[in-house]
Amino acid sequence: MIPYTIYLVDDEASIRQGIALGFKDLYRVVSFGSAEDAIGAIRSQRPDLVLLDIGLPGISGIDALRKIKGFEPDMIVIMITAYEDIHTVISAMKLGAYDYVIKPIHMDSLRVCVRNALETIKLRKEIQALQENYIRENLPCFVGESDAIQDVIQFVNKVAKSPDTPILILGESGTGKELIASAIHYKSPNFKGPFVTLNCAALPEELIESELFGYEKGAFSGASPTGKRGLIEESPNGTLFLDEVGDLGLAAQARLLRFIEKGEYYRVGGTKKLLTRTRIVSATNKNLEDMIEKGFFRLDLYYRLGVIKVEIPSLNDRRDDIIPIAKYFLMEFGKKQGKSFNGFSSRVQEFLMNHRWKGNIRELRNLIERAVLVGGGPDITMQDLGLEKTSKGTDRFFPRTKNRAGFPSLSENGVDLSAMEEHYITEALQKAGGNDAKAAKYLNMSYYSFRYRRKKLSNLQSLKSF
C-alpha cells in the first residue's frame, strides 16, 4: 500500500515524467501541467504534499501557493524553481512554503526533501490522533450527534488552531465549559504546553491578583518570604483558563486587560516587567453585557476576552444526546466500580429524555454515578436513580401531561414546534423591548438558553427586527 499522495505541478512534461518515474515505488504521484487544474483537484481531494513549480504559465507558482494556503493553510508545499532567485524564494517561504528545490532536479536531494516533509505530516497525523483520542475518552460534553453539539465541535476545531486568540465560552452552569476549554487547548498548537485553570469565584477578591500575577516577597502581610509565581507564569506557551471570569474585581480586570493587550504584567508588589505568551480562554454563566451596563465589568475587557465567543447549548437544547451521554457515564462509573450494566430500563430512558436538566451535564453525571453505586444490574432502574413512588404509584419526577387551553392537540399532522417557539420568543422580545435578558425571564429560561434558541430561529423574519 502506497501511503502518501503527491500532486506535482510543472508545465514541462519531461520534469513531470522524470519525477513520477523516480517516485513510482514510493508514492502515488498525480501530475498537472497548470496551477488551475491542480487547484481544482486539491479542492476536491486533498493530497498529502504538493510539488509546485514557480514559473508556470497562467497562474504563477507564487499566486497558486497563495490560493492553496488560503483554503488549505496546513498544506505542505515544496516549490520548484529554475534558478535561485532569492527574492522569489523568500516570498514563497513567507507565504508558507515548506522548502524549495532548484532545477535541474537531483532526485536524491528531492527524495530527502520530500521524505522530511512527509515525516512532518506523519507527526501531525499522530498528534491529531492523540488529540482526538483524548477528547473522545475524556470529554463527555462532546458525546452525541445532535446538530447543536456538532455545530460547537466544528466551531471549536476551527478556533482552536490559533495559538493566542482569546476565546470566551458562554453557557449555563454544568454544560461543560471547562471541558470545552480543555478541548480547545488539546486541539491547539499549544497542546504540549500547560493547561492551567483558575476559578475566579473560588478566591476572595484580594487574593485573585496575587494568584493570577504572582507576588514579590513582602508584598503584603502573610506573603511567602520567597514570593510566588502567578498562574500566568505557570502557563507559558500553553492555555490559561479563567472560569467564572465575571467574578473578577475591577482592579484585576484592568491588570488582565493590560496583559492580554501587551503580553506584559507585574507581580503584586513588583517593579520588574514580566513577559509571557499564553492563550487566555475564559468562561462565565453570567450575563456580562448586563454587568457592563451596571458598571461591574469592563467593556474593553469584554471585547478582548471575546474576540471569539463559543456558546454552549444546554442539555435541554440537545435532547438527542442525553442517552448517549448517560451511557458514557454508565460505562465510566461502571468501570471504576467494577460493575457491568447492559443499559437503562425503558422507564429510566423515558425519564432521562423528559426531565428538565437544570444542572445540565453535571446533574446527569451525578445522577448516573449514584445509580451505578447502588444499582445491581443488569439495567439501571428508577429505584437506582432514587426516584420514589407516590401513594398512587407515579414517579415523583414525572410531570403529569395535559392539554392546556390554547395549545393545539396532537393530530396525525403533528405540531409545528418551531412555529410555537417563534411565536413565544417574538412575543417575549416585544414585551421586553428587544432585551434578551428580560425576554428570557418572561419565558422562565436562562439567558444563554434563550440566546441559543433565538439564534436557531434567527432565519425567521419576525425575529430579525429585534
Q: What is the pLDDT of residues 402-417, one digit of tens each?
A: 444 444 554 445 545 5
Which one of 8-17, 119-128, 382-391 scores highest in mean pLDDT? 8-17
Question: With bands split at pLDDT 50, 70 and 90, how would you rate the model's confidence at 93?
Answer: confident
DSSP β-bridge partners for residue 274: 265
Q: Let me know: does 34 contact 6? Beta carbons within 8 Å.
A: no
pLDDT computed for residue 141 by the predictor: 56
Average of pLDDT values for 273-289? Answer: 91
Mean of pLDDT over the chain: 82
Lowest mean pLDDT among 24-28, 133-137, 164-168, 452-456: 133-137
* pLDDT surpasses 90 at 10: yes
pLDDT computed for residue 461 by the predictor: 47
What is d(CA 59, CA 68) in angstroms, rounded to the nearest whole number?
A: 12
pLDDT computed for residue 417 by the predictor: 57
pLDDT computed for residue 403 by the predictor: 45
CA angle 171–175–177, rounded 5-degree value: 70
Question: With bands split at pLDDT 50, 70 and 90, how would you rate the model's confidence at 418?
Answer: low
* pLDDT surpasses 60 at 144: yes
What is d(CA 163, CA 278) in angstroms, rounded to the nearest whole number?
A: 8
* pLDDT surpasses 60 at 394: no
Question: With bands split at pLDDT 50, 70 and 90, how would you rate the model's confidence at 239?
Answer: very high
pTM, full prediction? 0.59
Burial of 245: CB neighbours in 10 Å, binned 0-12, 13-18, 19+:
buried
- 255: its cell numbers: 491588570
